[in-house]
Amino acid sequence: MTPEIAPWEALWRWMFILGCSSFVLLLVYALLTGARDIVEMFKGLASGEDEDLE
Amino acid sequence: MEFAILDWLIVVAYTGVILAIGIYSNRYISSLSNYLVAGRRVRTGLAITTMISTELGLVTIAYSSQKGLLKGFAAFHIPLIAMLMAMVVGLTGFIIYRLRRARVMTIPEYYEQRYGRKTRILGGVMMVVGGVLNMGMFLYAGSVFIAGITGLYETAHINIIMTVLLLIVFAYTILGGMVSVVITDYLQFGMLGLTFVVVTAFCLSDVGWEKAVRAAADGQVAQQRHAYETSQQKLLEEGRQPEKEFTPEPEAAFDPFKGIGILYMAWMFIHFVAGWSLWQPATLRALMAASPKIAKRGYFWSSLGFLIRFMVPYFWGICAVAFLMEDPDSFAALLSGTENEVSRATMMATPLYIGQLLPAGIKGFVVAGLLASFMSTHDSYLLCWSASIVQDVVGPLAKLYGREISRRARLLLTRIFIFLIGLFLLFWGLWFPLRGDVWDYMAVTGTIYYAGAFAVVAGGLYWRRASSTGATLAILAGILAVGGILPWPRWGVTLPPWSTSAFPLGAMAVATVALVAGSLLFPDRTRKEAGS
């Protein structure tokens, strides 16, 4: 690997590693909290009101 | 590997579940706000899943894998910029916070609040034209990808599959509106997230990082050699002497300044600032959040998805180069032919590679995940643009002529426009002569709308002197971006490669100047408050 390539390759490699592992965590978090949010959304829609939380 | 019966069963079962859930949601549609913004009851977890699902479509995977194949790791600057800009929007609430606080359901609705009804109608037309043109390649790119991975090369087969999928999307979007879109997005997020993990794991075990790095460099040099030989051949045909020796530059596969150019990078920077804050399908996620703070939080965390949606398919494309470079002739063959043929071949290469990589059963699961991404984007976009036609064009036009359209009629009209836009997609995808890569087409068509919208909304929210005349001129300036996708070669005009970036960048600059100049020269008689 030439000196021109090395720093760029390192940047992209770490972006790939950190990005992919963080995404897996986000996937689990969003699926768990999203399930709870769906239940809340249905409850709200069934109540027939259209209000902001704040 | 063949697409086995087990694979088909997985695909059919999955699409059946999605359809059933979508139809079930219809019982919750009691008002227009329930239909268009899910009653503004979307909280953080759901905001993240629906945001990422919407912006991570099969078309995204198709054009991103093509970009990775053609540009190598140098293209990684695009996901980096996309993530950083979404984080900035999420942290600062730039535009989205004030829009959500204004309780609008579409962006042109804000135009009316700030500039007047005529501006809303013009802005609505421009937004829908840009948005629907942007969708124009969804079906085509998705078809090519599915054809490659399943091995169904017959155009008729693919068209039938895509038409059936589109009908399923019609059914649950027309019936359940945003409620069904949000719930199916949630399921599709899980499915396509797992798909990303599985395919990436297979690519890494097959190619690995080191080999991918070598392949990216080799692939870039092969493209440079092809471009050099083509230009030399042209010189010889014109009776001129070849100019210089071929000098390979493998670093162009890693260094975006060398591989892609600073003008393109500048375009991407501005594209994502404007896109994340004003691209209606994405901004709609902020507008339907349960509060402005949740809107910001959803954007911030979704930024990770915006990184992944580009970066991972880029990596698949680079792995496909490694596979193809085992026989350099097969890689060279990709680059031969008309622009349209090269575009199709380079888009088909990655799914072909993935198709031969995955075993039966896993392949069915992956195709179901890809179809999930196809449906989750189509449903949101169809609902978004059809709602905009009714809310921002038909409704305000009727009001101009002293007529009011009832809520029931608006719901019906929205459903009719969902169907009509779907029909347009079927036809446009078949006959539009695509040149260059699909991502550039998408970014240019998006600019037709947000070149003007960015100046108009940012000016309206943050500059008290912005006037309706300035807004009108800025919205019209977006038309200049069309130059980036016009079939110039067919008209005998040869433009330099940087022109693709220059048209949208120019449109954004002209729109900004038009807003400022128009507002200073023709101020509104009754000035409204910034951020009103």
Using a CB-CB distance cutoff of 8 angstroms, which residues of chain A are in contact with residue B312? 20
- In this prediction the ipTM stands at 0.86
- The verdict on a CB contact (< 8 Å) between B48 and A34 is yes
- The verdict on a CB contact (< 8 Å) between B28 and A42 is yes
C-alpha B272/C-alpha B85 separation (Å) is: 6
- The verdict on a CB contact (< 8 Å) between B48 and A30 is yes
Specify the amino acid at residue B206.
Answer: D
Cβ atoms of B262 and B74 closer than 8 Å = no
Residue B267 CA, distance from chain mean position: 15
* Local confidence band at B135 (pLDDT 50, 70, 90 cut-offs): confident
Does an H or E element contain B201, and which? helix B155-206
pTM of the predicted protein model: 0.86
Mean pLDDT of all residues in B54-64: 87
**Looking at residue B433, what is its pLDDT?**
59
Q: Does the CB of A26 have a partner CB in chain B at under 8 Å?
A: yes
- The verdict on a CB contact (< 8 Å) between B46 and A37 is yes
Specify the amino acid at residue A16.
Answer: F
Picking from A23, A36, A53, the nearest residue to B45 by CB comes out as A36
Residue of B64, B73, B101, B221 to mutate when probing chain A, most A C-beta within 10 A: B73
Using a CB-CB distance cutoff of 8 angstroms, which residues of chain A are in contact with residue B265? none
Q: What is the DSSP string of B285-351?
A: HHHTBSSHHHHHHHHHHHHHHHHHHHHHHHHHHHHHHHHHTTSHHHHHHHT-S-HHHHHHHHHHHHH
Q: Using the predicted structure, report yes or no on whether residue B149 has a pLDDT greater than 50.
A: yes
Cβ atoms of B7 and B258 closer than 8 Å = no
Cβ atoms of B515 and B466 closer than 8 Å = yes
- The verdict on a CB contact (< 8 Å) between A20 and B28 is no
Using a CB-CB distance cutoff of 8 angstroms, which residues of chain B are in contact with residue A23? 193, 196, 304-305, 307-308
Q: Does the CB of A41 have a partner CB in chain B at under 8 Å?
A: yes
C-alpha B324/C-alpha B318 separation (Å) is: 10
Using a CB-CB distance cutoff of 8 angstroms, which residues of chain B are in contact with residue A12? 73, 76, 254
Q: Using the predicted structure, report yes or no on whether residue B55 has a pLDDT greater than 60.
A: yes
**Looking at residue B430, what is its pLDDT?**
64
Q: Tokens in use for B216?
A: 């990216």
User: What percentage of chain B has pLDDT greater than the value 70?
Assistant: 95
Q: Tokens in use for B77?
A: 């600057």
Nearest to B139 by CA among B154, B170, B124, B161: B161
**Looking at residue B212, what is its pLDDT?**
96
Q: Which of B119-128, B150-159, B320-329 has the lowest mean pLDDT?
A: B150-159
Residue of A41, A43, A47, A49 to mutate when probing chain B, most B C-beta within 10 A: A41
- The verdict on a CB contact (< 8 Å) between A15 and B304 is no
Mean pLDDT of all residues in B496-503: 83
- The verdict on a CB contact (< 8 Å) between B46 and A54 is no
C-alpha B231/C-alpha B226 separation (Å) is: 9
Using a CB-CB distance cutoff of 8 angstroms, which residues of chain A are in contact with residue B40? 50-52
